[in-house]
Amino acid sequence: MKENKKVNLMARNMWAKKSNEDGKQLWLPLMAHLIDAENTIGWLLNHWLSEGTKSWFVEGVGDEDELRKLVKFLGITHDIGKATPAFQTIPSYNGDKELDNELIDKLVQSKFIDLDQISLSFPRKSPHAMAGEAILEDLGVPESIGSIIGGHHGDAGENVPYNQINDYRANYYQYDKDPRSDSSVPEVCKMWRNVQKEIFEYGLSRAGYQSVKDIPNVNQSRAVVLEGLLITADWFASSEFLGNDRSKKLFPLISLDKNFDDIDFQARFENAIETWNIGENWEPKKVSLEEDPYRKRWGFNARPVQRVITETIDQANDPGMVIIEAPMGLGKTEISLVATEQLAYATKRSGLFWGLPTQATSNAMFNRVLSWLETLAKDQNENFPFKLLHGKAQFNSDYENLPNASNIEDTGAVVVNDWFSGKKSTLANFTVGTIDMLLLMALKQKHLFLRHLGFNNKVVVIDEVHAYDAYMSQYLYMAIEWLGAYRVPMVILSATLPKEKRQELIASYYRGKYGKSIGVGGDWTKSQAYPLLTVLDGTEVKQVSNFAGHSDQKPVTLEVERINLEDEELVQSILSEIAGGGVAGVIVNTVKRAQALAELVDKEDVELIVLHSAFLAPERTQIEKYLQSKIGKDVQRPKKMVVIGTQVLEQSLDIDFDVLYTDISPMDLLLQRAGRLHRHAIKRPDKFKDPKLYVMGIESMGNYGSGNEAIYEKYLLMKTDYYLNDQINLPKDISNLVQAVYDKENDPEVEGLEEARDEFETHLADSETKAQAFRLKRPSKRNNLHGWLGNSHSKVDDQKAQAAVRDIKETLEVILIQEKKDHTFLIDGRPIEKCSDKEIAEQIIRLPAAIYYDVDKIINDLETSTRKYFPRWESSKWLKGELAVKLDENFNATINQKWNLNYSPKFGLKLTKEESNE
């Protein structure tokens, strides 16, 4: 399809991209790139954007035809700022002056006289995105639309560029003259002005507008998503090849002897889309309640509570947020996947994001969602792209074994598309990952528009919402507010949710969707029923709390005993408890304590498993799989076993203890840990017919030891201590106990509690204040994007950004290598020279937090030693930038002459401080 009849010669000779590859000079005409971007953004609108998102857009612009016009206009004009002397005279990145001169000469021959002679004073003051906004707004385009053009490289800046053209006229017109108001200026100034108007009018015509007055204003939230759509289209239209495979062409440059007239734009675009191959959108079907959806998906009949919840969601007219509070082991994952299908159908969404607290829980959920997604892909006979979103996803073997979208011809499969990487990761339709990926939606950061666009298409599921602390919750609530503004449906899961948090979750979504606060004082704010379903249906909050006759979960009475023993006595008590057989779980609050207890148990004749965060990633995965195989569901259990771990044991691992010992923790987490006790209906040793929970670390009311109080707020520990009875009836007591601890109106008269509460509330206030520094503001009624990312974390990498939303110090990860007899090995004994770079990169571990006060010196020392011993790493895509710590034959190392490290496959990484010689 030729475009030359409608494009002026002057515009056709302007360049958008130029390059010298292997001595071959290449370029792409500006108008060619604009047409590529217009075709691409139109395709994204028609074939990728969910119908629900499009419907939301239509509410703001009038109808689908108006939306199509606006999107096309953005695509065809987004780089109009390149039609300026400031851009056309930019030197090539590789310093190819001959190429620069050839392209300038094309313009000189097009009567842009003396362009080869000019020297602009301040060309960098008018970057092409800002220049594009200035030009379009000068021609009458609304500021909301102009700011999208100005922000298409990731940030629209603080202010509307009102004086940009007047202050830097030469950047726009070659000389410091104004052809807009002075007819006596040099002809070339008029030519620059004319070519900008011609591109603009060409854009109006291509879009279907009769006049600039036809272009609508949009509110801020719609501008954000339109910006994300434009950035995606621009990045795709700027991709010459698919990844690093130069045989897979997308939008390649053309040789310098070719021009605009030589391009067949339709064939070029069709080839790019076919090569891109991101699969088709999911077209969710209505979930039939006549045939049990649980049997259809998983082969078992719906449990009564599952059936009631699914039926209730089916009856919602305008579902926004669904909160499911139910006991551990009730099948909330399956409920949520069915709810995802229901909400996707009701709101016309085409994907899923499932967020969890940790990488380990994300990995566990990945396989469950994968099985569900495979059935959807087969049902629709389409390929669906799936993305695991966390920093170690590349080491997940199940994820790595998924077929690549570009290498599979069959349909009905779950695939990985390499194009969805980096900042584009959340654009994949189906994603499972750590909650950070959602929290980052509320962190001011360059290219944040892409994250907002990606979540728009999806149903968002937040799992184990009780696990997010006060600081993280500030980002969570703001992210939810934006999701409400976009009408994105949500499912929130918790076994133990304080009612105050439930209220804030609902209120945040409501505030985003309706721009005002929800009414307070309704029964839904006070409910302590359990299980409990809460649905925000339009403006109404509905709850189902009466599951009488519908619950098949047998009540269990949990015996609770406080114990306070020295470590040696504790170990002997545990061993005595399982002397006749049984599996004992021990969950403590610090890695150091877990290791100390494990070393004592290891001296005894009993199988010991240790699990915490200080293991190499592959070994931790192996330990988790081993635990599942020994004390998971439907397995042959060992006669005797002791499992010692930290909080990782309380999250998502489907394991079962006969008896459980746990350090004191806030009530919701304590009950979460108790959920691993008698989790499955199995035959047990007679001694463990009734479940028993031993709670450790309570020295006296208000005294829980420095280790426990460093991890958890003393106020919550004191109230947990106060309300923890000798017996807990599950599931009946779960909600009442959690609400008693978190409801300030239930504070008992206990010495020291008021002081602890003041400290707790001060911490909450500090967390909120600290989070606000880089947290996005709530959706605004303003009509442009300027200031949206003010005070942004624009220069931080992903690891630092994730640290920012979790309020943790930037962590230091290293690769452990063992050296013995002048040879180097991986910790598992494999010679390093026989291992792939990926296998070496898997041997990564996070150093303990104690070293971080002098972390800069440690990094410098490790960088120096890594470059010295492993210089090849700098040329490896897997190992570039990684730091190595070399352990000796006994798995020991000294860091910074202060810290001794020892690694054991059984106990993990242990840190001790060198004793001072002073």
- What CATH code is carried by the domain that includes residue 154? 1.10.3210.30
Rounded to an integer, the average pLDDT of 808-814 is 72
pLDDT of residue 2: 45
Flag whether 50 is in a domain. Answer: yes
Looking from the CA of 98 toward its CB, the CA atoms found within 13 Å total 6
Rounded to an integer, the average pLDDT of 574-587 is 96
Flag whether 338 is in a domain. Answer: yes
How far apart CA 535 and CA 551 sit, in angstroms, is 19
Is it true that the peptide bond before 871 is cis, omega within 30 degrees of 0?
A: no
Q: At 492, which CATH number?
A: 3.40.50.300
Q: Are residues 481 and 614 in the same domain?
A: no
Which region among 34-48, 197-211, 388-402 has the lowest average model confidence (pLDDT)?
388-402
State pLDDT tens for residues 472-493.
888 999 999 999 999 999 999 9
Ramachandran angles phi, psi of 694, nearest 5°: -100, 125
Q: Are residues 529 and 622 in the same domain?
A: no
Q: List the 540-544 sheet strands across, edge first.
A: 414-415, 384-389, 430-434, 351-356, 458-462, 490-494, 319-325, 532-537, 540-544
**H-assigned helices in 277-322:** 293-298, 304-314
Amino acid 729 reads N
Q: Are residues 423 and 513 in the same domain?
A: yes
pLDDT of residue 458: 97
Rounded to an integer, the average pLDDT of 133-151 is 97
How far apart CA 485 and CA 730 sit, in angstroms, is 38
Q: What residue numbers bound the domain in which 254 lies? A: 4-276
Size of the chain in residues? 918
Assigned token pair, 827: 């910790």
Q: List the 15-21 sheet strands across, edge first.
A: 15-21, 24-29, 254-255
Q: Tell whether the model's pLDDT for residue 855 goes beyond 80.
A: no
Q: Are strands 813-820 and 823-825 parallel, antiparallel or unpaired?
A: antiparallel
Number of compact structural domains in the chain? 4
Residue 781 banded pLDDT, cuts 50, 70, 90: confident
State pLDDT tens for residues 78-118.
999 999 999 999 999 888 999 999 999 999 998 899 999 99
Q: Are residues 486 and 343 in the same domain?
A: yes
Q: Are residues 538 and 560 in the same domain?
A: no
DSSP state at residue 847: P
pLDDT of residue 821: 82
Residue 311 banded pLDDT, cuts 50, 70, 90: very high
Q: Tell whether the model's pLDDT for residue 346 goes beyond 70.
A: yes
Q: Which residues pair with 730 in a beta bridge?
A: 556
Which region among 114-128, 584-598, 642-656 has the lowest average model confidence (pLDDT)?
642-656
Cα dihedral 746/752/758/759 (nearest 10): -120
Q: Are residues 561 and 533 in the same domain?
A: no
Which region among 670-674, 713-717, 807-811, 906-910 has the lowest average model confidence (pLDDT)?
807-811
State pLDDT tens for residues 356-398.
988 878 888 999 999 999 999 999 998 899 999 988 888 888 8
Q: Which of 672, 696, 730 is the last residue of a domain?
A: 730
Q: Are residues 250 and 396 in the same domain?
A: no
Residue 405 banded pLDDT, cuts 50, 70, 90: confident
Q: Tell whether the model's pLDDT for residue 808 goes beyond 90.
A: no
What mean pLDDT value characterizes the chain?
A: 90
- pTM for the complete prediction? 0.91
> In angstroms, how far is the first alpha carbon of the chain from the final one?
82
- CA 449, 440, 419 angle in degrees (round to 5)? 60
How far apart CA 880 and CA 524 sit, in angstroms, is 53
- CA 912, 840, 903 angle in degrees (round to 5)? 20
State pLDDT tens for residues 526-553.
888 889 999 999 999 999 988 765 456 6
pLDDT of residue 521: 67
Q: Tell whether the model's pLDDT for residue 421 goes beyond 60.
A: yes
pLDDT of residue 411: 80
Q: Tell whether the model's pLDDT for residue 4 goes beyond 50.
A: no
Q: Which of 697, 730, 763 is the last residue of a domain?
A: 730
Is it true that the peptide bond before 731 is cis, omega within 30 degrees of 0?
A: yes
Q: Which region holds residue 440: left if phi is over 0, alpha if psi is between -120 and 50, else beta?
A: alpha
Per the model's pLDDT, the better-predicted residue between 4 and 729 turns out to be: 729
Rounded to an integer, the average pLDDT of 415-427 is 87
pLDDT of residue 678: 92
pLDDT of residue 802: 59
Q: Which residues pair with 388 in a beta bridge?
A: 432
pLDDT of residue 798: 56
Assigned token pair, 663: 């350090």
Flag whether 634 is in a domain. Answer: yes
Q: Are residues 601 and 666 in the same domain?
A: yes
Q: Are residues 530 and 568 in the same domain?
A: no
Q: Which of 692, 713, 730 is the last residue of a domain?
A: 730
How far apart CA 18 and CA 31 sit, in angstroms, is 14
The per-residue DSSP string of 392-429 comes to TGGG-HHHHTSPBGGG--SSS-EEB-TTS-GGGGGGSS
DSSP state at residue 784: S
CB 696 within 8 A of CB 663: yes
pLDDT of residue 5: 45
Flag whether 776 is in a domain. Answer: no
**What percent of the chain clears pLDDT 70, i.e. is strictly above it?**
95
425 alpha-carbon distance from chain centroid: 8
Q: Are residues 446 and 470 in the same domain?
A: yes
Q: Tell whether the model's pLDDT for residue 231 goes beyond 60.
A: yes
Which candidate, 419, 421, 383, places its Cα nearest to that of 403? 383
Q: Are residues 511 and 430 in the same domain?
A: yes
**H-assigned helices in 608-666:** 617-631
State pLDDT tens for residues 722-774.
999 999 998 889 999 999 999 988 899 999 999 999 999 998 888 888 878 78
Q: Are residues 308 and 368 in the same domain?
A: yes
The per-residue DSSP string of 87-153 comes to HHTPPPTT--HHHHHHHHHHHHHTT-TTTTT---S-GGGS-HHHHHHHHHHHTT--HHHHHHHHTTT
CB 483 within 8 A of CB 509: yes
Burial class (CB in 10 A: 0-12, 13-18, 19+), 803: middle
Q: SS3 for 167? A: helix
Q: SS3 for 581? A: coil
State pLDDT tens for residues 257-283.
999 999 999 999 999 999 887 777 899
Residue 232 banded pLDDT, cuts 50, 70, 90: very high
Contacts (Cβ under 8 Å, ≥6 apart) of 783? 142, 143, 144, 217, 218, 219, 220, 223
Rounded to an integer, the average pLDDT of 801-809 is 63
Q: Tell whether the model's pLDDT for residue 918 goes beyond 50.
A: no
